[in-house]
Structure 1
Amino acid sequence: MKTWTVGALLALVFCIGLSPAVSAKMIRIGEHQIVAHPALDNDSKGFKAALEEEGFIEGQNITIDRQNAQGEQPNCFIIAQKFVDDRVDLVHAISTPNAQASVKASKSIPIVFSSVTDPVSTGIIPLMGETGTYVTGVSDRWPITLQCRMYKNLVPGATRWGTIYNPGDINVTYHIKEMKEAVEAMGDKLVEAHVSTTAEVMQAAESLVGRVDAIHITSDNTCVSAFESIVKICNANDIPLFAGDRDSVPRGAVAAYGPDYFLIGYTAGKQAARILRGEDPGKIPAGLASDYSLWVSFKHADAQGLALPETLVRKAADKLWDKDGNVVKGK
């Protein structure tokens, strides 16, 4: 007859008590983003929150190796290869360069991307919906045309719109093309300034002074990570500043109509949980971000010499800051 020790019996009881949906194995996740700024950071936070809701708790049954490429695209490939060498169970790639690097580095590790503008044109997936590959995720493609029209309503006298971006970031080139078409369709002109690093952003903003009536920053991670530099120039020269990610409004933008990046990461986290439970990534549909909303700051409008149409703004804004910087509408 086999003899059972107390320790063995306790171990058996523990194993039986585990949820069948969550493995007792310590699951390893590799997460990397192109640069640190509030939108992408909120993406990461949403991803973690969704995993926790599904029973995947960091430090208990999963580990997350978080890496930052510091704005350097070559670093994305180094990080992606590190995850392959470490044999992680899943990769969360935040932004286009990170997702591209992960897809190139591995043909078998499940990859969930987020905050990627056009995952099809950039070769990350063959199509939206069920991809039939080991990759799925959430696109953050913005409603550029609607943004341009909305910002024009807030500054009806503006005819020269400035923007700053890194032409080496393929993620943003699609937005710039759409922005140019939208601005010209309104009978206005788009004035571009190019950068390759965050150190060049302030100088680029200065180059637009006297040449533009307002500035609209799109999904350029280089500029968003140095957003305060643009704010400084706009405040000093009475140039209204608009953004596409809502997290830039507390940082100094007058307004932004865009998605909730926490929700983008949260949706990606739900996809990841399904994969970790055994589902095929290729059968989990890749989709678009949703739930856009308008954030507006009277304080920043004042700082940039803009008199906003108060009745319109108070009615349209989902979240609103008064002239003292207090939130008076929304959460």
Structure 2
Amino acid sequence: MLRRVLAGATVAALLLTGCGAQESAPESVSIGGVTIVSHPSLDLIWEGVKEGLADAGYVEGENLTLEFQNPQGDQATLTNIANTYAGSDHDLFVAIATPPAQALAQVIQDRPIVFASVTDPVAAALVDSMEAPGGNVTGTSDQLPTDQQLKLILEIDPTVETVGIVYSASEVNAQVQAEAAIEAGKELGIEIKTATIQNSSEVQQAAESLDVDAYFTLVDNTVVSAMESMVQVAEQKQALLVSSDPDSVARGAAAALATDYKAQGLQTARMIVEILEGAAPAETPVQLQESLETVVNAEAAERMGVAIPQEVLDRASTTD
């Protein structure tokens, strides 16, 4: 079992103590993972992490022990999970989404924390900067080009003048994205109207309160968990709905310019391996997602009264 490491220290240095400089996977590594809520995109990240670790020789049940927790969006439960992990023997922690990363970072400073799907880790106070995190926390960010996402809305429906965004007031990443969308909208001549929520049960009412031509969902775990409510409102109002994750398209959104979440999980696993093999989190830059994909659901768009242009269909990675 690996020993705990202080921020900036390396796991490899501990492994080599008394056993010589061997370039091999440790005999036993224990990792604690936590997400914020169940939905397909976040689930794909964890699948990618496990697959990437296995590809690097860290095989669960052999030289790898994994524990995975899900508070299902409940902050009190998340806090309890973080406190339990702080008292555990895990060597490294994986946090999927901003709230779990913040919860772990508040109580764990002596071992590495690698996050995934954190939109703005600087604004979330997880790292000093993207280039030099400065502590025991680093990972992958799912920052997306908001202006390009809004341009996709206009490309699909050039008549759109107002776009509605429902977002969680308690998620820093969602607030940052909403602000970016408002600024990008000004440049594109689009008025962004917003409505905030506290939990997923408020999504439908918040969406209905917005008088807009189209809807845009952010990388917002609370809203995405209630995507069917957004779809229902969009269809009722005959308003285009574009999302920020591919799985929401399969669930009824018309289109997305999105992160490939399985690929992000694999990318996160590579960072984990680097840290297990000696890299210091403080000096390991936060990485942006390596690939974006355009995803469309032509039938869903039709139910919203919109036809996806052929040029968009031609470049879409998947068409449902």
Q: TM-score, with normalisation over the residues of structure 2? A: 0.89
Tell me the residue number matched to 1:318. Answer: 317
| Equivalences for residues 146-165 of structure 1 within 5 A | 146-165=148-167
Letter in 2 for 1:319: T
Q: CA separation in 1, counterparts of 2:266 and 2:132?
A: 19
Q: CA separation in 2, counterparts of 1:121 and 1:191?
A: 22
Tell me the residue number matched to 1:22. Answer: 25
Q: Report the CA distance between 1:122 and its aligned residue.
A: 1.5
Runs (4 or more) in structure 1 with deviation over 3 Å come to none
The more displaced of 70-79 and 171-180 is 70-79
Tell me the residue number matched to 1:299. Answer: 299
Q: Report the CA distance between 1:248 and its aligned residue.
A: 1.1
| Equivalences for residues 1-331 of structure 1 within 5 A | 21-25=24-28, 27-208=29-210, 211-310=211-310, 312-321=311-320
1:292–1:78 CA distance, 2 compared to 1 (3 A): same
Q: CA separation in 2, counterparts of 1:118 and 1:304?
A: 32
Q: Report the CA distance between 1:275 and its aligned residue.
A: 2.1
Q: Report the CA distance between 1:260 and its aligned residue.
A: 0.7
Letter in 2 for 1:116: V
Q: CA separation in 2, counterparts of 1:62 and 1:297?
A: 39
SS at match of 1:116: coil
Q: CA separation in 1, counterparts of 2:43 and 2:207?
A: 24
Letter in 1 for 2:258: G
Q: Deviations over 1:281-321 (max 9, x none)?
A: 233332111211211111111111112222x2233322223
Q: Report the CA distance between 1:132 and its aligned residue.
A: 3.9
SS at match of 2:175: helix
Root-mean-square deviation (Å): 1.7
The more displaced of 221-230 and 66-75 is 66-75
SS at match of 2:103: helix
Letter in 2 for 1:178: A
Q: Report the CA distance between 1:199 and its aligned residue.
A: 1.1
Q: CA separation in 2, counterparts of 1:191 and 1:136?
A: 33
SS at match of 1:190: strand
Letter in 2 for 1:232: Q
Q: TM-score, with normalisation over the residues of structure 1? A: 0.86
Structure 1 unpaired stretches of 5+: 1-18, 322-331
Q: CA separation in 2, counterparts of 1:275 and 1:187?
A: 45
- The structure having more radius of gyration, on CA atoms, is 1
Q: CA separation in 1, counterparts of 2:65 and 2:50?
A: 11
Q: Deviations over 1:193-245 (max 9, x none)?
A: 2211111112222223xx11110011111110110111122223322111011
Q: Deviations over 1:151-181 (max 9, x none)?
A: 1111111111111111121111110001111
Q: CA separation in 2, counterparts of 1:136 and 1:153?
A: 36
SS at match of 1:156: coil
Q: CA separation in 2, counterparts of 1:285 and 1:192?
A: 33
Q: Deviations over 1:230-282 (max 9, x none)?
A: 11222233221110112211111111002111111111111112222333223
Q: CA separation in 2, counterparts of 1:122 and 1:198?
A: 21
Q: Report the CA distance between 1:20 and its aligned residue.
A: 5.1
Letter in 1 for 2:315: A
Q: Is the 8 A contact 1:77 1:105 kept in 2?
A: no
Q: Is the 8 A contact 2:166 2:194 kept in 1?
A: yes
Tell me the residue number matched to 2:16. Answer: none
Q: Report the CA distance between 1:133 and its aligned residue.
A: 2.5
Q: CA separation in 1, counterparts of 2:279 and 2:308?
A: 50
The more displaced of 189-198 and 231-240 is 231-240
Q: CA separation in 1, counterparts of 2:279 and 2:207?
A: 47
Q: Is the 8 A contact 2:123 2:172 kept in 1?
A: no
Q: Is the 8 A contact 1:164 1:205 kept in 2?
A: yes
Q: Report the CA distance between 1:130 and its aligned residue.
A: 4.0
